[in-house]
Structure 1
Amino acid sequence: MKSKVLILSMVFLFVFSCKDKPKSDIEVTDSETELEVNNGLKGTWELTGFYNYKDNVVVDSFSNNTISRQIKMYTDTKVMWCKLLKTDSIEFFGYGTYKYADGNLAEILEFGSAFMNEVIKEKQQFNFQLNLTADRFEQIELDDDGNKVYSENYKRIE
């Protein structure tokens, strides 16, 4: 009887002595850190306004609130945006993948609304210079010479 109690006690002691490492002791790999760094766009963003440029300097800006409402959502690899025009109920959206590196953003659209599908037939990839902070970004279109033309300006909403 005593040997059974001793064996049972040892089994319980062994089971309860096994535990997971505390989270603070878990090592973060380079790929996990890289994902966090490269994933600054992940989230939901709302278009707040536009800048027009001349000679790479902002010469005009205007708010988006009176014209329409546009939301962009980025996952790890996908992008989708939709626009509500207050003066028109026509659908307006696009969906595809994106790449972001070295301050450059490329959105490669797979499909969209009827209007966007016509645009996508002619041009699938849209390239921008991107100025990104934690809660805002400017998506800047460049001309063939690399000069800034206009930007869409977004704020993070989630």
Structure 2
Amino acid sequence: MKALFLSFIFMLLVFSCKQNPKNEINEAVIDVSNPETINSLEGAWELVGYYNYKDNKVIDSFKTSEGYRQVKMYTHNKVMWSKYVPSDSSEWFGYGKYSIKESELIEELEYGSEMMSRIIQEKKEFKHELIINEDFFSQIEIDEDGNRIYAENYKRIE
């Protein structure tokens, strides 16, 4: 299970990221050190980049690659996302429900693309730290010790 999930994360980073020089890290989309009051996730969001963490501090940032698209759509309690990677013929999408408890985003996927269905068989529930403001949100992967690992950063498109 962990190997499949880690493979998914690795593929996500390899196929969709372009490393920026370390001196561009301060070009952050979201100030993760200053969480805002939880705003509504309802609407459409597009992935714009990633952060990698060490000791709970951003050590590296990546923008999405040219042509790459990942969009999430949230209703009152449902989520659906899709991903397009020009260099990858695999389809990636998922559908399920979500909830927000304090600063935690919990997505419980019901079904997805063939690749995602394999992951869902092993793990249906995905929990992330959530930092959100009106136009941006960041979902942050946390390890078993409560430390930040990486974040996906989204901008509101509708």
- Number of equivalences: 122
Aligned equivalents of 2:39, 2:93: Cα separation in 1: 22
Aligned equivalents of 1:67, 1:117: Cα separation in 2: 24
> Greater relative contact order (Cα 8 A, min sep 6): structure 1 or 2?
2
Tell me which residue corresponds to 1:89. 89
Tell me which residue corresponds to 1:152. 152
- Segment of structure 1 superposing worse, 66-75 or 137-146: 66-75
Identical amino acids, percent of aligned pairs:
53
State the TM-score, normalizing by the size of structure 1.
0.74
| Moved beyond 6 Å, runs of 4+ | none
Tell me which residue corresponds to 2:120. 120
Residue aligned with 1:53, SS: strand
Bigger radius of gyration: 1
Question: Unpaired segments of 5 or more residues in structure 1?
Answer: 1-36
1:93/1:116 contact within 8 Å kept: yes
Alpha carbons of structure 1 residues 135 and 77: separation in structure 2 relative to 1, 3 Å: same
State the TM-score, normalizing by the size of structure 2.
0.74
Alpha carbons of structure 1 residues 47 and 132: separation in structure 2 relative to 1, 3 Å: same
Tell me which residue corresponds to 2:68. 68
One-letter amino acid matched to 1:103:
S
1 or 2, which has the higher helix percentage? 1
1:38/1:101 contact within 8 Å kept: no
Question: Unpaired segments of 5 or more residues in structure 2?
Answer: 1-36
